[in-house]
Amino acid sequence: MAKPEPIFSREIFRFFKDLSRHNKKTWMDANRHRYQESVVRPFRRLLEETAPAVLELDARFDTAARNGQNFSRINRDIRFAKDKTPYRPQMYLKYAVPFAGGETGELYAGISAKAVTAGFRVYSGSKYKNSTLAVFAYPRCLADAKWAAKQEKRLGRKYESYWYSAEKGEWKEQPGWPTTGQDWKRLRAWIVRVKMTPTAATRGTFAGELGRVFRDMYPLLQFTCLPD
Angle (deg, nearest 10), helices 206-225 and 41-57: 50
- Identify the domain containing residue 24 by its residue range: 11-225
| Residue 77 domain flag | yes
Q: How many domains does the chain have?
A: 1
The pTM of the full predicted model, rounded to 2 decimals, is: 0.94
pLDDT tens sequence for the chain (228 residues): 667 899 999 999 999 999 999 999 999 999 999 999 999 999 999 999 999 999 999 999 999 988 789 999 999 887 766 778 999 999 999 999 999 888 999 999 999 999 999 999 999 988 899 999 999 999 999 999 999 999 999 999 999 999 999 888 788 999 999 999 999 999 999 999 999 999 999 999 999 999 999 999 999 999 999 998
Question: Residue 115: which CATH number?
Answer: 3.30.930
Within a 10 A sphere around the Cβ of 223, how many other Cβ atoms? Answer: 17
Residue 58 has, within 13 A of its CA and on its CB side, a CA count of 20
Look at residue 182 and tell me if it is in a domain: yes
Residue 220 included in any domain:
yes
Residue 111's DSSP bridge partners are: 91, 116
Q: If phi over 0 gives left and psi between -120 and 50 gives alpha, with beta otherwise, what is residue 204?
A: alpha
Domain membership flag for residue 86:
yes
